[in-house]
């Protein structure tokens, strides 16, 4: 790894605020912006990031991540590269439905790396598309600090990819104390 990465999850949305168990819809949803609290979270994070000498900002194309990037960029003032390969997981037919239906589709968590949801993707698909972004960054830059603004699973997958973790190790670290950032939180790798 030739660069340092800061992986920032978007600010809180109504889904997190209300404890919704509905999986995000497949398409971007501009009617589900980050909340006022989410904005405050990101403003606080932006102050912290302003001391970390960020060189480049990459961001998911979804509305909630764009909002997050705009708030952060008031402090950083960097060009933002929007890349749709950093969008959230495609849950396929389970998008917009209760998460229990998605959970029950699999025998165990490890199976989510290999088994695709109908019309969706598995975690290895997610690893390929986000890994392509990282590989391109690694070829293009050296000794830079790269901020990536995305969603929980893509960031967790990127963190595991950067650390060279096995699927099993990634699952062990899939929590806010590991490599899975909570809303409005970032991890540095």
User: What's the pLDDT tens digit per position in 35-48?
Assistant: 999 999 999 999 99
CA distance 6 to 186: 6
CB 9 within 8 A of CB 155: yes
Q: Judge if pTM exceeds 0.95.
A: yes
pLDDT of residue 32: 87
Sign of CA dihedral 122, 126, 128, 129: positive
| Among 160, 119, 130, 149, residue whose Cα is nearest residue 41 | 149
User: What's the pLDDT tens digit per position in 20-69?
Assistant: 999 998 888 888 899 999 999 999 999 999 999 999 999 999 999 999 99
User: What's the pLDDT tens digit per position in 109-126?
Assistant: 999 999 999 999 999 999
User: What's the pLDDT tens digit per position in 127-156?
Assistant: 999 999 999 999 999 999 999 999 999 999
Phi-psi region at 53: left, alpha or beta (left = phi > 0; alpha = psi -120 to 50): left
Report whether pLDDT(6) > 90: yes
pLDDT of residue 31: 80
Query: Per-residue DSSP letters for 19-83?
Result: T--BPPPSS--TTSPBPHHHHHHHHHHHHHHTTS---EEEE-SSHHHHHHHHHHHHHH---EEE-
CA distance 65 to 151: 8
The ranges assigned to domains in the chain are 4-188
| Among 136, 137, 139, 170, residue whose Cα is nearest residue 155 | 170
CB 169 within 8 A of CB 27: no
pLDDT of residue 27: 83
pLDDT of residue 108: 97
pLDDT of residue 29: 83
pLDDT of residue 28: 87
Report whether pLDDT(4) > 90: yes
Select the CATH number that applies to the domain covering 4-188 from these four: 3.40.50.12280, 3.90.190.20, 3.40.50.1240, 3.40.50.20: 3.40.50.1240
pLDDT of residue 87: 97
């Amino acid at each position: 790894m030739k660069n340092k990465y800061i992986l920032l999850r978007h600010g809180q949305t109504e889904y997190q605020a209300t404890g919704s168990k509905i999986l995000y819809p497949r398409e971007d949803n501009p009617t589900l912006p980050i909340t006022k609290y989410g904005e405050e979270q990101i403003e606080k994070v932006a102050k912290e990031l302003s001391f970390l000498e960020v060189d480049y900002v990459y961001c998911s194309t979804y509305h909630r991540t764009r909002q997050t990037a705009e708030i952060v960029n008031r402090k950083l003032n960097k060009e933002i590269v929007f890349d749709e390969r950093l969008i959230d997981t495609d849950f396929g037919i389970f998008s917009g439905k209760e998460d229990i239906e998605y959970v029950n589709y699999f025998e165990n968590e490890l199976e989510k790396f290999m088994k695709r949801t109908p019309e969706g993707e598995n975690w290895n698909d997610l690893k390929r598309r986000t890994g392509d972004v990282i590989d391109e960054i690694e070829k293009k830059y050296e000794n830079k600090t790269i901020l990536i603004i995305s969603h929980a699973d893509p960031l967790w997958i990127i963190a595991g990819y950067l650390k060279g973790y096995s699927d099993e190790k990634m699952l062990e670290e899939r929590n806010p104390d590991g490599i899975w950032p909570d809303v409005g939180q970032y991890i540095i790798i």
